[in-house]
Structure formats: C-alpha cells, structure tokens
Amino acid sequence: MRIPIHREGWPFIGPAIAVNAVLFAVSVWAGLVILPLTIWCVLFFRDPERKAPEGRGLVISPADGKLLPVIRAVPPPELGLGNTPRVRLSIFMDVFNVHVNRMPVNGRVTAMNYRHGRFFNASLDKSSEHNERMAIRVEPEEENRGSDALAVIQIAGLIARRIKCDLLEGQSVRRGERFGILRFGSRLDVYLPPDATVVVRENQRVRAGETVLAKLACE
C-alpha cells in the first residue's frame, strides 16, 4: 500500500531508513529495535488526500487533532483584527496526527506575520500567546462578504521546532488546500468572525480538510 508523503518528510525518512537498513545488516535485533521509530517517522509525514465538504460559508478544520476548550480571546495584534475578543477554536496535534495543514475557507490572504517565541506545550492555553507562531489573516471570498476576516495561527509546540507555511500575502486560497506543515506536535488556532456559528464541540476529534468547525454568515 502506497503512503503519500509530504515533501518536508524526506530529509528525515531517508536517513531513518538508511540507518535502519545498516542496523539490520549488523544485527536483526538491533534493526527491530529501531524499526518502530522508522515507521513512526514515515507515518508522521503522511499526507493523505482529503475531500473538502461543499456548501456556502463553511469553515473546516485546518488540522487533524483534538479540539481544545472553546474560548473567546483577542486575535494576534499583528493581524490588525482589533482588540475585541473573538471565538477561538484551538486544535492540538499530538505526534501521531497528520501534521499537514489545510485552508479552512475560500478567500484571500491579506496579512501574514511570523513571530519568534517560546516552546510551551501546545495543549496549554498560554502557548497561543507566547509560543513561536505564523499568523495568517484570510478574507472570505465574495459569497461570504457579509463576514469579517478570520485568522489562522500555526503555533509551535514543546517538541515542534519548525513551522512551514507556503502562503504568500495576496494569494487566493481554496477550502481544503494544503498550505503548510508543523513538525513534531503542535497547535492550530482559528479566530472566527463575530457572526460565525460554531458547530463542533470541545474534545471532538477533527480532520484537516473535512471536519466542519463553524459556519459564516452569507449575504
């Protein structure tokens, strides 16, 4: 069975397979000890195809993982979304989740900002404020122009040390398309427009590109 792999994974998977092969050549037992780590490395960078649901105003999950408690919080100031708290949906990705990130809506990227920071455990609420992050502001497309912009934040975690984002400011994006990856356990935050309606529940398991998180108001 062929496992689709994200291109960011090959610099890790190639050496892991090579080392495992050498160990098997030296000792079968040594090779078997390391084999689970090699398999985990392959699975961590898997990049399965996903089919985004159709419908107006849908906000879908940008990441696989567990939905943390839903709270209201002020979006990152660098995105220019104001000081009014918004509903924040936070998805925690453990080291066994798919880590490829996907766009939650159709629209256009109007602001991006990368900020260095700390590496607290991504399941902690303070990681949203203090951890290293890539903040992205997206204006929903024409059909949802009754809604304000939303924010998608890639956040590094305790183990994660690399945030990869392939977007450019001004780029048009489509719901469900890949836009980046975080390495080795991390978190995605989505700050919703004020008129959005949440349709998921806390602690729910969600899938990037498939699970509907919320619905935007449409004209």
The alpha carbon torsion through 117, 97, 63, 129 (nearest 10 deg) reads -20
Supply the pLDDT for residue 29.
87
List, run by run, the mean pLDDT of 10-residue segments along the chain (219 residues). 75 85 85 85 85 91 94 92 93 88 94 81 64 91 68 80 87 94 84 93 93 87
Contact 213, 199 (CB under 8 A): yes
pLDDT at 15: 83
pLDDT confidence of residue 20: 87
* Distance separating alpha carbons of residues 63 and 140, to the nearest angstrom: 19
C-alpha 21, offset from chain centre: 32
What pLDDT does residue 95 have?
81
pLDDT at 103: 96
Residue type, 195: D
Collapsing DSSP to helix, strand or coil, 38 comes out as helix
The predicted pLDDT at position 118 comes to 67
pLDDT at residue 158, as a whole number: 66
CATH 1.10.3470 fits 58-215, yes or no: no
pLDDT of residue 147: 57
Provide the residue ranges of all domains of the chain, joining segments of one domain with +.
Answer: 7-44, 58-215
Distance, CA of 166 to CA of 27 (rounded, Å): 42
Residues 3-28 as b/e (b if ≥16 CB within 10 A, e otherwise) read eeebebbeebbeebeeebeebeeeee
Q: Which residue has the tokens 């090959």?
A: 10
At residue 196, the pLDDT reads 92
Beta strands in the chain (DSSP E): 58-60, 65-67, 71-73, 86-93, 100-102, 107-115, 133-140, 150-156, 163-165, 172-173, 178-182, 186-191, 197-198, 205-206, 212-215
Is position 186 annotated as part of the catalytic site?
Answer: yes
Cα first-last separation, the chain: 45
**Which amino acid is present at 21?**
A
Q: Choosing from 61, 90, 147, 186, which is the catalytic residue?
A: 186
- What is the model's pLDDT at position 160? 55
Cα separation, 145 vs 133, whole angstroms? 27
